[in-house]
């Protein structure tokens, strides 16, 4: 009986050690890719300093993986991203998803507080007169999203604006059709307002 318990304990410890080593290897691989490629546009910790590239710090793991797979397959097109993912495989995408999801997020100053207040209203309540649903329905009250939906909190306003416009004109088609409908009903003011509001969330 005691030998059986000892065996189970040793087996459990061995499994934990193996899992721990696998996680360490995965993290090391992600750091290698980030420091070799991703940091140029997204920063080492996913805090992109350029408003044309998305902040990835704290982004949902499954969402990062999904987008990388979409770039790899050509379902989502970007002249900058296609070459970056060409030599990567799905294990690399998983490692990168976990890596960026674990990076700390930061509070960013809102450039236009009054515009952001309009965005706060649209994000939380939508625009019933234009048939725009509240963004919270999919992305949550704090903009953290879900495993299937992106985290929007803290994203560069300019990047968010660009994505909404691409959903509207159908140049971005790899995510659900709801976004095409929502984006098509937003005015230019509402797009800028929502983007400004989200940029100030942590």
Confidence of residue 176 (pLDDT cuts 50, 70, 90): confident
Higher pLDDT, 133 or 148: 133
- C-alpha to C-alpha distance for 43 and 49, rounded to whole angstroms: 7
The answer on pLDDT for 140 being more than 60 is: yes
The strand pairing partners of 127, in sequence order, are: 132
Whole-number pLDDT of residue 2: 62
113-199: CATH superfamily: Cytochrome c-like domain (1.10.760.10)
No. of helices (H) and no. of strands (E), the chain: 10, 0
**Which carries the bigger pLDDT value, residue 80 or residue 8?**
80
The pLDDT score that the predictor gives to residue 175 is: 86
Q: DSSP E strands: which ranges in the chain?
A: none
Fold of 23-102: Cytochrome Bc1 Complex; Chain D, domain 2 (1.10.760)
Task: Please compute the mean of the pLDDT values over residues 121-128 and round it to a whole number.
Answer: 97
Domain positions in the chain are 23-102, 113-199
pLDDT in tens, 55-114: 999 999 999 999 999 999 999 999 999 999 999 999 999 999 999 999 999 999 998 999
Asked whether the domain spanning 113-199 has the same topology as the one spanning 23-102, the reply is yes
Residue 40's CB is within 10 A of a number of other CB atoms, namely 14
**pLDDT score, position 9:** 73
């Amino acid at each position: 009986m005691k030998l059986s318990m000892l065996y189970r304990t040793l087996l459990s410890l061995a499994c934990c050690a193996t899992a721990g080593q696998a996680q360490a290897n995965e993290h090391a691989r992600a750091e290698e890719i980030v420091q070799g490629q991703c940091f140029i546009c997204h920063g080492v910790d996913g805090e992109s300093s350029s408003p044309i590239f998305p902040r990835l710090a704290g982004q949902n793991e499954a969402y990062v993986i999904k987008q990388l797979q979409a770039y790899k397959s050509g379902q989502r097109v970007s002249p900058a991203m296609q070459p970056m993912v060409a030599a990567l495989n799905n294990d690399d995408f998983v490692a990168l998803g976990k890596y960026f999801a674990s990076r700390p997020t930061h509070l960013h100053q809102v450039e236009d507080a009054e515009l952001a207040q309009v965005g706060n209203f649209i994000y939380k309540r939508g625009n019933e007169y234009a048939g725009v649903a509240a963004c919270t329905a999919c992305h949550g009250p704090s903009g953290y999203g879900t495993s299937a939906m992106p985290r929007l909190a803290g994203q560069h306003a300019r990047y968010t604006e660009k994505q909404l416009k691409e959903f509207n004109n159908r140049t971005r088609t790899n995510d659900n059709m709801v976004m095409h409908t929502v984006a098509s009903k937003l005015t230019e003011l509402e797009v800028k307002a929502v983007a400004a509001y989200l940029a100030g969330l942590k």
